[in-house]
Structure 1
Amino acid sequence: MIYLSFDIEEFDMPKEYGYDIPFGQQISVSREGLIAILDLLKKYDIRATFFSTVIFAEQVADLIHRLIDEGHELASHSYYHSEFKIDDLENSRETLEGLFKVPITGLRMPRMKEVNAEDVKRAGFEYNSSINPTYLPGRYNKLSSPKRYFKEGDLWQIPAAVSWFRIPLFWLSFHNFPLWLYKFLLKRCVASVGYAALYFHPWEFTDLHQKEYNFPSYVMRNSGELMIARFEQLLQYIKKQGWKTGTYNQIITNK
């Protein structure tokens, strides 16, 4: 099984590199990328989970309705992408449910921020997908976390996919590894864990070679049209392997 997910948010990542682009541009960049993603998933008849901030969802309500209508899962990415207070957990779930009339059962924190399982459960979520069980310098050290989904108290935890020696299969790996190597590691992950839970962002599907972003080369590599082509090859590979695909809430309902 392959479980694809996308963190859809206001594109504020340039702030991490000393630049702050206008809010309208943050929305338009992510909107452009989200359309590309939805078109690809529709072409290959694949369902995925979209973790959205409330702020972004409010600005692109038409696309949120589209992804719901096309069978994808809507989940929470908190209220804002660069600000957080504990009340945002419940407020984000309730606001998304009120706006789009679907149950919101899953959470992924922006930038995989650590969050207390009891707080997440108290806010009404069934699962959290904010753990990358690897070591990323300057971000986190989660080498002791399980690679497979697990229960923490009453909350399901769904870690991101890692492969051999806990090599992460997240978005940066996809951009920087040769595609043959990424496919090899993905196949090993599925063989050992039984599934792979992958995540990407809409802005990866746009041209990141902009001076005002100030991104290092490893962030920009294989973005825009190259990312669209590369991701389509991944979807073709998934189909060729005969792997089923699904949404994150199916992980815990089909356990």
Structure 2
Amino acid sequence: MILLSFDIEEFDMPLEYQGEISLEEQLAVSRKGLQNILKILNQNSIKATFFSTVVFAENNRDLVQHLLLEGHELASHTWFHSDFNEEHLATSKQELEKLFDTKVDGLRMPRMSPVSEDAVSDAGYFYNSSINPTYLPGRYNNFGVSRKPFWQKKVLQFPASVSTIFRIPLFWLSFHNFPLWIYKILSKLSLSSTGFLNIYFHPWEFADISDPKYKLPNFTFKNTNEAMVNRFDDFIKWAKKNNYQFSTTREFLEDWTQKNKN
């Protein structure tokens, strides 16, 4: 089973590199990318999960409503992408549910940041997909974490997928920078090992982020925009050709919970 997810957020990455970008432009870049994503998913008749900040959702209500109408899942990416308080766990969930009249069961922290599982549980989440079970200098130190879903307190942890050997992250940067045939091999091995592929992307990857004023290093925007649209469509068609199924994260984990009750 392949679980595609997208962190729909303000495109604030240039600020990490002392680049220049207004909030209005951050939202416009991500809006354009989300439109491209929804088009690809619709053309291929597959469902995915969208972890949204409240800021992005409030400013793009039409697109969020559209993705819900098409059967995708809406989950929380907290309130802001660059500012977090623990109270945002509950308030972002409540606000998204209020704005779109839908149940929000999932959480992904911005930048996969660590968070108190007691607070996540108290906020009412069913699952948290905020762990990359690998070691990445300056980012993650989770090499000993399980690659499969596991309960932590009252919350089901759903790690992002990594390779079977050396735990190479199969996240967005790998998708951009590895030759696609290598990424497919690593994905196939991970699928065979765990029974699922949990991979995540961002809308701005499907838009033009090559403007020099953003000051982004090349590895962050390699194979973005039209190149990303084509690579992503190619990957989906490869998966379908190999008879892999797609699902929203909530549906997959509800089924996993039922099968692993005992």
Fold shared per TM-score above 0.5: yes
Distance in 1 separating the partners of 2:220 and 2:3: 23
TM-score by length of 1: 0.99
TM-superposed CA distance for 1:247, in Å, is 0.5
TM-superposed CA distance for 1:8, in Å, is 0.2
Distance in 2 separating the partners of 1:35 and 1:148: 31
The equivalent residue for 1:84 is: 84
User: Runs of 5+ in structure 2 lacking a partner?
Assistant: 257-262
TM-superposed CA distance for 1:103, in Å, is 0.4
The equivalent residue for 1:206 is: 207
TM-superposed CA distance for 1:252, in Å, is 1.8
Distance in 1 separating the partners of 2:186 and 2:240: 17
Distance in 2 separating the partners of 1:172 and 1:118: 31
Is 2:251 aligned against 1:245? no
Which residue identity does 2:78 align to in structure 1? S
Distance in 1 separating the partners of 2:252 and 2:129: 11
Which residue identity does 2:229 align to in structure 1? I
The equivalent residue for 1:184 is: 185
Give the stretch that moved more between structures: 164-173 or 103-112: 164-173
TM-superposed CA distance for 1:245, in Å, is 0.5
The equivalent residue for 2:194 is: 193
Secondary structure of 1:245 counterpart: coil
RMSD: 0.7
Distance in 1 separating the partners of 2:239 and 2:118: 35
Secondary structure of 1:138 counterpart: coil
Which residue identity does 1:213 align to in structure 2? Y
The equivalent residue for 2:260 is: none
The equivalent residue for 2:116 is: 116
Q: Deviations over 1:196-223 (max 9, x none)?
A: 1010000001122111111111111101
Distance in 2 separating the partners of 1:22 and 1:192: 43
Q: Deviations over 1:178-235 (max 9, x none)?
A: 0000000000000001111010000001122111111111111101100000000011
Q: Is the contact made by 1:161 and 1:170 (CA closer than 8 Å) also made in structure 2?
A: yes
Q: Is the contact made by 1:12 and 1:20 (CA closer than 8 Å) also made in structure 2?
A: no
**Percent of pairs with identical residues:** 50
User: Runs of 5+ in structure 1 lacking a partner?
Assistant: none
Distance in 2 separating the partners of 1:219 and 1:29: 15
Q: How does 1:80-229 map to 2 (within 5 A)?
A: 80-165=80-165, 166-229=167-230
TM-score by length of 2: 0.96
Secondary structure of 1:233 counterpart: helix
